[in-house]
Amino acid sequence: MPNADFWLKQGFDFESFRPRETATDQPVAHIRLDSVLEFLLGDKLK
């Protein structure tokens, strides 16, 4: 299994699905889960 440095040097651009830190009374930032679901399930729903 490659170590963590391998993945950093490969140029992959992985989306971070962890919510970003915000102030207590602020909404959570949108991470485009709708586009993920469209990519994974879109052809099954047509």
Half-sphere exposure of 16 (CA within 13 A, CB side): 5
**Domains: count for the chain:** 1
DSSP 8-state code for residue 22: -
Domain holding 11, by residue range, is 4-44
pLDDT in tens, 1-46: 888 888 777 776 666 667 677 777 877 677 788 888 888 888 777 6
pLDDT in tens, 18-27: 767 777 787 7
Other C-beta atoms within 10 Å of 31: how many?
14
